[in-house]
Amino acid sequence: MTDRYQVVGNPIAQSKSPWIHAAFAAQTGEAIHYDRHRPEPEGFAAHAAVFFEQGRGMNVTAPYKLDAYAFAHQLTERARLAGAVNTLKKLPDGSLLGDNTDGYGLVSDITDNLGWPVAGQSLLILGAGGAVRGVLGPLLEAAPASLTIANRTLSKAEDLAQLFAHKGRIDCLPFEALNCPYDLVINATSAGLNGEMPALPDGFIGEQTRVYDMTYGAEPTPFLRWAEGQGARIRADGLGMLVGQAAEAFFVWRGVRPDVRPVLSALRAELKAV
């Protein structure tokens, strides 16, 4: 019997998750069926309850990650720290485990796929929303020399620094205070999600700064184009994070870790062909 999996979000038609997990299944020989669903705005819990009568696992994207967090019976440590769930797994006793694989996907893309160092580097994260909360734990565990969160509203960055204080020191700045180059800059602003650019000053990106945008597209994102104009020669978007977090979810569900690189290369080619 083929096990059933699903990605849930709104909107969801654009999701690449069914394509990615079909590629993982073909690569590993795992027999799964994976589709997508868009619940009504308040309908996540009702849909999930019906799905998990037979379904084995679910990926969850915006705006339902908090709903999935509340729906899970158990949470992994990384889900508790993230305050959100993007992966649900049905356990043998019928209960649901909530996990968050976003941070793993980001760090594995940066260190394994791109070969960029994190340990010992000065790291700047732009933004202080839910996307940042989901990746802070794994980034701190990668042992950067320093980690700074810059945000338009400073208090939101300070709240995150306090929440993760047990994991390591986090410095906080408003955007306008950024004035010296960092080794690695990660854009996680909500503006990036909408294909826009946050209002940023000059001076914190240099020629040697590695620049990463958590969003992606067939063409360079507005942030990556701006960073190029600031002199950044080494840039990457978040497509590898998408595939990496999916691979970690696949491992959580199936106990098999797929090879990300050929799937990422094929997906990149598919995006450019559209």
Residue 61 annotated as binding site:
yes
Q: Mean of the pLDDT values across residues 240-269?
A: 97
Residues ≥6 apart with Cβ < 8 Å to 14: none
Alpha carbons 92 and 9: distance in angstroms, whole number: 26
Quick check: 59 and 44 in contact, CB under 8 A?
A: no
Angle (CA) 84-216-13 rounded to 5° is: 70
DSSP 8-class letter at 38: -
Q: Which of 65, 89, 167, 272 is catalytic?
A: 65
Q: What is the pLDDT of residues 235-249, one digit of tens each?
A: 999 999 999 999 999
| Residue 65 a catalytic site member | yes
272 is in an annotated binding site: no
The answer to whether 152 is a known ligand-binding residue is: yes
The answer, yes or no, to whether residue 250 has pLDDT greater than 80, is: yes
Higher pLDDT, 193 or 148: 148
Please check if 151 is assigned to a binding site. Answer: yes
Q: What pLDDT, on the 0 to 100 scale, is given for residue 253?
A: 98
Q: What is the pLDDT of residue 1?
A: 75
Show Cβ contacts of residue 254 under 8 Å, excluding neighbours closer than 6 positions: 28, 30, 32
pLDDT digits (tens, 9 = 90+) for 125-136: 999 998 999 999
> What pLDDT was estimated at residue 197?
85
Q: Which domains does the chain have, with CATH numbers?
A: 3-100+240-273 (3.40.50.10860), 116-237 (3.40.50.720)
Summarize pLDDT for 33-66 with one digit per residue, the tens.
999 999 998 999 999 999 999 999 999 998 999 9
pLDDT at residue 251, as a whole number: 98
Mean pLDDT for all residues in the chain:
95
pLDDT digits (tens, 9 = 90+) for 172-220: 999 999 999 999 999 999 876 677 788 899 999 999 999 999 999 889 9
Q: Is the dihedral of CA 111, 114, 120, 121 positive or negative?
A: negative
15 is in an annotated binding site: yes
90-119 mean pLDDT: 97
pLDDT at 147 over 80: yes
Q: Is 153 among the annotated ligand-binding positions?
A: yes
Amino acid type, 5: Y
Establish whether 218 is an annotated binding residue.
Answer: no
Is 179 annotated among the ligand-binding residues?
A: no
Whole-angstrom distance, CA of residue 103 vs CA of residue 88: 16
